Chain A
Amino acid sequence: MRHSRHPLWKFGRFLRDANFSHFVVSVVVILVIWSITSATIDNPGRYLPSPLAVALSSVDMLYKGILPSYFADTIRRLVLGSIIGLSLGIPFGLLLGLNRTISDMFYPLLNFFQSISGIAIFPIIVIWWGNSDKTVLAIVLYTSFFPLAYTVLSGVREVPMKYIHAVRTLGATRFQVIRDVLLPGAMPSIVTGTRLSISFAWRAVIAGEMLAGREGLGWMIFTGQDADLTTQVILGMLMIGCSWIILDHYLLRPLEMDTIERWGLVQR
């Protein structure tokens, strides 16, 4: 874990990883089943285009510049929504975890909104802001904020009493207990909450774009269905899944490894 974090080194590790060969096997199996199915059904162009057809359409869309621009739109929304979600959700969760009065005030509300999924909040947002960028962002923010705040709050609450006691007997003030025990103790929850929150945000962006977008990967899937362009639908799905795997593997997992695994707070 003390090795360099050069991207090439990490890619090399990914390839050397025993899991990677298993992963390749499963991908090949799926591609084979997919090709055979596509070759044997009627009208594959409409129901299940072959992997080759999807690959060709991706080349076409890349060439026309649609794919990069849709991809960039989606990523932009994800990044913006996540940054706002994280910068509000983490402090809010911490505040609730650290202060009894504040948590008594807001906890029921937190619970209330936890139960209303992003899709259920959608209609009211559309009534307010119509089919716009703002609507999509609002859904991303909403979906990522509550689970994050909730996870961080529990993280602070679950810091073992023995650490707090130990540091108080070393003469720590309340502020020092927060700084040296509660914040680092809540770190695993902040990190897992962040990962969770971004994965929720990713799904919310796609759903938001399908329902209220004008561009982006979600929009691409949605219009693909309307226009009977099944290759476009499948391509969109592939882009969504693959982007997530890359994002998780290169950004979110390393974040976890550098903090909580270094401290031995989780077992791998």
Chain B
Amino acid sequence: MPAKLIVQGLSHHYPDEYTGESVHALDDINLEVEDGEFVSVVGPSGCGKSTLLNILAGLLPYREGSVTVDGNVIDGPGHDRGVVFQEHAILPWRTVARNIGHGLELQKVPKGERNRKVKEFIDLVGLEGFEDRYPHELSGGMKQRCAVARTLCADPVVMLMDEPFAAVDAQTRITLQEELIRISIATKKTILFITHAVDEAAFLADRCMVFSRRPGRLIATVDINIPRQDRNWNEMSSNSEFTRARDQILKLVRGEVSADEA
């Protein structure tokens, strides 16, 4: 079976309208994500991670290379690719339930079926009792849960996440990471997760891709062979596979950073 997400020879230059020069953000990226796989992407700040995600989401047009999802060439946004942004982007004028059901509403799914699915995902992310609240009445962590539920409820083929837990406190982040593991087991979604936190990248993913400084290049891929159901923070500190993977990723990221700074 071919991979869900295939990126071939993808490069990206941002034009600079003032100087006429261009910023080289991505350089010849080749990667594949299999069905049901959880892949994380780490790299130094400004290396082009968000650029990659925006291209995959269809929000940023690309000219060099090719990107396909389920065999379809990406040409604009579509509900086959769900996105969770760093800054939760749930709509302030919709209640939690209406935000989560928004994707289905846009696809004109009948109300009865929609309500059933919304309930399912509210339960999945633990927002029971908050269905009729507005986003400003939620904590930061709850907003992110709502954003994750909204993306999942639209039933995308691939879920793209851009540093979704960067803006919440450390305690909440740990909880959200464990919840995401549980959700990924329950939904078997294919997930591409961008982060700059090495711990997070190793904890969540089956495979971690490490990017170089700008222009972003894929410098290494690290496999993390830990069954999904064994992933919880209590056991990770004594899990040798986790510490090995984490240290390896850290070295790759560090090496890249210091090599450039020297």
Using a CB–CB cutoff of 8 Å, the interface residues on chain A facing chain B are: 160, 162-163, 165-173, 176, 180-181, 184-185, 187, 262-265
Contact = CB atoms under 8 A, between A and B. Distances in A.
Interface of B: 57-59, 77-79, 81-83, 85, 87, 89-93, 102-103, 106-107, 134-137, 150-151, 154
From A160, A170, A262, name the one whose CB has the most chain B CB atoms within 10 angstroms.
Answer: A170
Given A162-B89, A165-B57, A165-B59, 6 more contacts: A163-B91, A170-B154, A171-B78, A172-B106, A180-B91, A184-B93
B93 A187 contact: yes
Contacts of B154: 170-171
A169 B82 contact: yes
29 contacts: A160-B89, A162-B85, A163-B91, A165-B83, A166-B83, A166-B89, A166-B91, A167-B91, A169-B57, A169-B58, A169-B59, A169-B77, A169-B79, A169-B81, A169-B82, A170-B154, A171-B77, A171-B103, A171-B106, A171-B154, A176-B106, A180-B91, A180-B102, A180-B106, A181-B91, A185-B93, A262-B134, A264-B136, A265-B92
A264 B91 contact: no
Interface of A is mostly: helix
Contacts of B102: 167, 170, 180
A171 B89 contact: no
Contacts of A172: 106
A170 B82 contact: yes
Contacts of B106: 167, 170-173, 176, 180
A184 B92 CA distance: 9
Contacts of B57: 165, 169
A160 B154 CA distance: 22
A173 B77 CA distance: 10
A75 B103 CA distance: 46
B45 to A, nearest CB: 19
A43 B136 CA distance: 60
A160 B91 CA distance: 10
A163 B89 contact: yes
B92 to A, nearest CB: 5
A170 B57 CA distance: 10
A166 B85 contact: yes
Contacts, number: 70
A106 B78 CA distance: 34
From B57, B93, B107, B151, name the one whose CB has the most chain A CB atoms within 10 angstroms.
Answer: B93
Interface of B is mostly: loop
Nearest to B77: A168
B89 to A, nearest CB: 4
Contacts of A176: 106
Nearest to B98: A180
Nearest to B54: A165
Contacts of A170: 79, 82, 102-103, 106, 150-151, 154
Contacts of B81: 169
The 9 closest A-B pairs by CB, nearest first: A264-B136, A171-B79, A166-B89, A170-B103, A162-B89, A168-B77, A184-B93, A169-B83, A263-B93
B164 to A, nearest CB: 12
Contacts of B137: 264
From B58, B102, B154, name the one whose CB has the most chain A CB atoms within 10 angstroms.
Answer: B102
Contacts of A160: 89
A171 B93 contact: no
Contacts of B77: 165, 168-169, 171
Contact of B89 (A165, A184, A187, A263): A165
B93 A165 contact: no
B56 to A, nearest CB: 10
Nearest to B90: A166
Contacts of B92: 263-265
B103 A264 contact: no
A33 to B, nearest CB: 44
Contacts of B58: 168-169
B55 to A, nearest CB: 12
Contacts of A167: 91, 102, 106
Contacts of A262: 134
Given A162-B85, A163-B89, A163-B91, A264 B107 contact: no
B184 to A, nearest CB: 19
Nearest to B91: A163
From A167, A185, A262, name the one whose CB has the most chain B CB atoms within 10 angstroms.
Answer: A167
A111 to B, nearest CB: 24
A181 B93 CA distance: 9
Contacts of A173: 106
Contacts of A263: 92-93, 134, 136
